Chains A and B, each alone.
Chain A
Amino acid sequence: MPQNIDRQQVQRLIKQGAQLVEVLPEKQYQLVHLPEAINIPLQSLDRKAAAKLQKNRPVIVYCYDYQ
């Protein structure tokens, strides 16, 4: 079950090797994104896109805010 986390937990998990995924559209990702985040827009999130991620590492997803 996915867990909600805050900023401090994000920073801690990144240090532990977590993968960051921005799920906003590409244009918004290009404007600004978290360091080393990759972009998989929600509408494109399928098995093929998910193959970019490693299953043995934690994954953190984020978008704009609480939307």
Chain B
Amino acid sequence: MSPRAAWRLESLGFDEVFDYTAGKVDWLAFGLPVERDEKPDSAMVIDLMEREVPTSRLDESVAVIKQRARQKSLPLCPVVNQEGIVLGVVTEDQWNRNAALTAEEVMQAGPTTLRPNVSVQNASEFLNRNELSAILVTSSDGKLMGIFKRTQSDSKKQMPKSDIWS
């Protein structure tokens, strides 16, 4: 959408036109200041998601993943590459059945993820509809940003603390 807008502005006689292609999602992902709707029901996933998420490499054992995720009381562990791009996810069910295998052998590849600016209401509905307890949050280029849990959506439909948005 923004490339077309940039070209349209150029056609309208603007000489210096720039396209921030990564857009609003990228800005939000880095916690930069924003202006926003202050209604209580306008909370977004980025406001409530857990940011400290343990991750796994492809070659790590399921036993290690299980231990790492349990320390944070998480029902899943994302598998990422060196750039932090989500390659898959290992869930509680998988690590309980396959402790001797590696992440690559048991992971669910290409898991569904949420963008950080999805509303909490929509994210909650998505979790309920798909009977999920948690879902990964990624930026538009696939980088892991956090995890959004059902408990967060159920109990904290509120605006973020001010320090999040500085």
Which residues between 98 and 153 of chain B lie within 8 Å of chain A, taking CB atoms?
115, 117, 119, 139-141
A27 to B5, alpha carbons, bound, how many Å? 18
Q: With contacts A61-B2, A67-B1 known, is A33 near B20, CB below 8 A?
A: no
- How many inter-chain residue pairs (CB < 8 Å) link A and B? 143
> Residues of B within 8 Å of A, CB-based: how many?
42
Contacting residues, chain A, for B21 (C-beta < 8 A): 4-5, 62, 66
Interface residues of A (CB under 8 A from B): 1-7, 9-10, 13, 18, 21-24, 30-37, 40, 42, 45, 47, 50, 53, 55, 57-67
Whether the Cβ atoms of A32 and B28 lie closer than 8 Å is yes
Q: List 28 A-B contacts (CB under 8 A).
A: A2-B19, A3-B17, A4-B21, A5-B19, A7-B22, A21-B9, A23-B1, A31-B42, A31-B44, A32-B42, A32-B117, A34-B35, A35-B33, A50-B9, A50-B12, A50-B14, A58-B16, A58-B17, A60-B18, A61-B19, A63-B2, A63-B5, A64-B115, A64-B117, A65-B25, A65-B26, A65-B139, A67-B1
Q: How far is the CB of B145 from chain A (nearest CB, A)?
A: 13
- Interface residues, chain B, CB within 8 Å of chain A? 1-10, 12-28, 30, 32-37, 42, 44, 115, 117, 119, 139-141
When distances are taken between beta carbons in the complex, the residues of chain A under 8 Å from B36 are 31-33
CB proximity of B37 to chain A, nearest CB, Å: 5
A9 touches B24 (CB 8 A): no
Contacting pair B26 A1 (CB below 8 A): no
* Assembled-state Cα–Cα distance A9/B13 (Å): 22
A55 to B16, CA, bound (A): 8
Shortest Cβ-Cβ A-B pairs, 5 listed: A65-B140, A2-B6, A62-B20, A58-B16, A63-B1
Which A residues are in CB contact (< 8 Å) with B5?
21, 23, 40, 42, 45, 61, 63
Judging by beta carbons under 8 Å apart, are A55 and B18 in contact?
no
Q: Which of A30, A50, A61 contacts B18 (CB 8 A)?
A: A61
Smallest Cβ-Cβ distance to A27: which chain B residue: B37
